[in-house]
Amino acid sequence: MEASIKSNIKNTEVNENEKSSKEENKVNMEGFRFFANTCEEKLKVFLENFFCNKSREELHYVEEKQDKLNHGTAYDNSSSSKNNSNSFLNSNDICADNDSSKENEDNNFEKNKLSKSNYDKIAINLADEVEQFMKSFVNERYKIVVQAIIGENKKQGVHIASKSLWNVETDNYISAKYINDFIFVTIMVFLLYNE
């Protein structure tokens, strides 16, 4: 009887210790929501300042043409080296020769030449600067993920959505947008708690 009473006392002590440690590690969600709202306002101001300093020429969409890709050359070289060596053919090599998807891929690249624009560089630069900007406000325990979307503003409709698997008690996101006569920008900053 005494042994069961002692074990019950030990179990309650362990449960109390677990509860207190869980409470210490909990994130104050009201404070975090306030923090997220404050950061969202600061992010909007940051975007305004970032794009107000850009000239009209920098924000105008410029497409940089690239040479079309020649996928057949790499494939032809690899297949000729296989034939010259003393290796055996497996079923993947035979299927690759008869694969019509490669032909479709080659035709697609011939029709649609790849292009880059100045918006690629702006988006990468913006994402890096937003990440550095947010680091000063965010606790070290949070991982910051930044997604920058920039497009030419031609009065079109754009819908942007995201879905993530995360802990709703500790993780959150901040988003901000900027629109002028030339571009639209959406920034999403995901704050993920690392335990």
Homologous superfamily of 27-61+116-193 in CATH?
Answer: Tctex-1 (3.30.1140.40)
Alpha carbon distances (Å) from 124 to 53, 68, 100: 17, 23, 36
Domain segments of the chain as ranges: 27-61+116-193, 69-113
Q: What is the pLDDT of residues 96-128, one digit of tens each?
A: 555 555 666 666 656 666 567 788 888 999 999
Percent of the chain with pLDDT over 70: 56
Structure tokens at 67: 């040479």
| Residues 176, 188: Cα–Cα separation, whole Å | 7
141-185 per-position pLDDT tens digit = 889 999 999 988 888 888 888 787 888 888 888 899 999 888 899
Q: Which DSSP string do the residues of 68-106 spell out, in sequence order?
A: PP-HHHHHHHHHHHHHHTT----HHHHHHHT-HHHHHHH
Q: Let me know: does 175 contact 146? Beta carbons within 8 Å.
A: no
What is residue 185's DSSP assignment? E
Mean pLDDT, rounded, for 60-78:
54
